[in-house]
Amino acid sequence: NGGAPDAKNLRVKLVLLGDSGVGKSCIVLRFVRGQFDPTSKVTVGASFLSQTIALQDSTTVKFEIWDTAGQERYAALAPLYYRGAAVAVIVYDITSSESFTKAQYWVKELQKHGSPDIVMALVGNKADLQDSREVPAQDGIDYAEKNGMFFIETSAKTADNINQLFEEIAKRLP
């Protein structure tokens, strides 16, 4: 394609998992459309969006993103979306310890039933709400390290670290 000799075009199935309200849909909306919706509605079932990014070596990565519904009533649907996914992004809200516990549940579920070579990222979202923080950054760092995951704190509201999240995932693809 006229790019660097090692340039490639990759297509990657990515699934977002995590408790309802942690900001999964807002992360996707920020990444795909550069927008934030303070009145974001709960996701029903799942929604699909895609976005392509270019890396420095002119490799392009097309993310095919399944944004799942975090409400408990949809939990049984999750395997439909994480099965065959190359990447799982597990999101919690830094102002909710309960959502961090739920994130750990998803990590275990993926370790048991996900693809064995799945790339997993742990994301602490709502990093703009420092005054209401319940989950120390170090807890996220430690848990991610123990489980061989990439860790980042983001804010879909301010856009902090949203593009970095997807760029770092792209770098870690096999």
Q: Out of 12, 14, 23, 25, which residue is the one contacting Mg ion (CB under 5 A)?
A: 25
Q: From the CB of 51, what's the least distance to ligand GTP, in Å?
A: 16
Q: Per CB under 6 A, does 156 bind ligand GTP?
A: yes
Q: Out of 8, 20, 64, 133, which residue is the one contacting ligand GTP (CB under 6 A)?
A: 20
Q: Per CB under 6 A, does 161 bind ligand GTP?
A: no
Distances from the Cα of 114 to the Cαs of 3, 40, 60, 82, 150, in angstroms? Answer: 34, 28, 25, 7, 17
Please report which helix (H) or strand (E) contains residue 52, including its range. Answer: strand 46-54
Q: Per CB under 6 A, does 140 bind ligand GTP?
A: no
CA distance 115 to 64: 16
* Contact indicator for 37, 29 with CB cutoff of 8 Å: yes
From the list ligand GTP, Mg ion, none, pick the one residue 17 interacts with, judged by a Cβ distance below 5 to 8 Å according to partner type: none
| Contacts to ligand GTP from residues 51-80, by CB under 6 A | 69-71
Q: Per CB under 6 A, does 40 bind ligand GTP?
A: yes
Q: Per CB under 6 A, does 128 bind ligand GTP?
A: yes
As to burial, measured by CB atoms within 10 angstroms (0-12 exposed, 13-18 middle, 19+ buried), residue 53 is: middle
